[in-house]
Each structure stands twice: as C-alpha cells, then as structure tokens.
Amino acid sequence: MAEDIALIEFFNTRMMGGTMSGTVPDATSFSCPSNTGTGMKGLLMNVIRCAGGLNSGITGGTANTPAAEQQQRERRKALYVLHMIAVSPEYSTQR
C-alpha cells in the first residue's frame, strides 16, 4: 500500500508539479471500493487496488511469485498509472 502511495506521489511531482487534486485514502481504512480518497489521487489508488482482474496483473504478486515476475508487475503498474495520468483531463489542463 505504501509503495502505491509513493508511486502516485512520484508521478504527481514529476508530471504535475505537485498539483494533482485530491487525497490518497488512509492505508488503515482502505477497502475496495474505497470512498475515502478524493480527486485524481483517490481515483488512481482505487484503480490500482480495486480494478478486478487488472489488479492481479499489476500487483507484486505473492511470496511465491518469482522475483522477475514481481518486477514485471511493478513496471506494468507504473506504466498503467503513467498512462492514466497522461490521458486525464487534469493533466491536459496542467500542461
């Protein structure tokens, strides 16, 4: 969960200059679907954590998942978040 928050904040800083709207849901109160986050940050966290079949393809896997596959899943998650930000109206306005 903390790594997902860090990923969102990384792209917030790099792509949007720290102006991404909303808040990220608190790790202790997060459940799917989450109603605790707001704005684009909350939406991205909801998509990362609660996207049904997509979630199994982008999370790090389990303890039994090979390291190479975990790394591939983390890359896929980062690219997915990058794409979601790049096609958002908020990013379009920010640019």
**pLDDT for 3-21, tens place per residue?**
888 999 999 999 999 999 9
39: amino acid identity, one letter: G
Rg (CA), the chain: 13
User: Residue 71: is its pLDDT beyond 70?
Assistant: yes
Structural domain harbouring 84: 2-94
Q: For 37, what's the count of Cα atoms within 13 Å in the CB-facing half-sphere?
A: 28
Sorted by sequence, the CB contacts under 8 Å of residue 76 that are 6+ apart come out as 57, 58
Considering only CA atoms, which of 46, 1, 59 is closest in space to residue 27?
1
Domain count, the chain: 1
pTM: 0.77
Query: Do the Cβ atoms of 26 and 45 come closer than 8 Å?
Result: no
Q: What is the mean pLDDT of residues 36-54?
A: 76
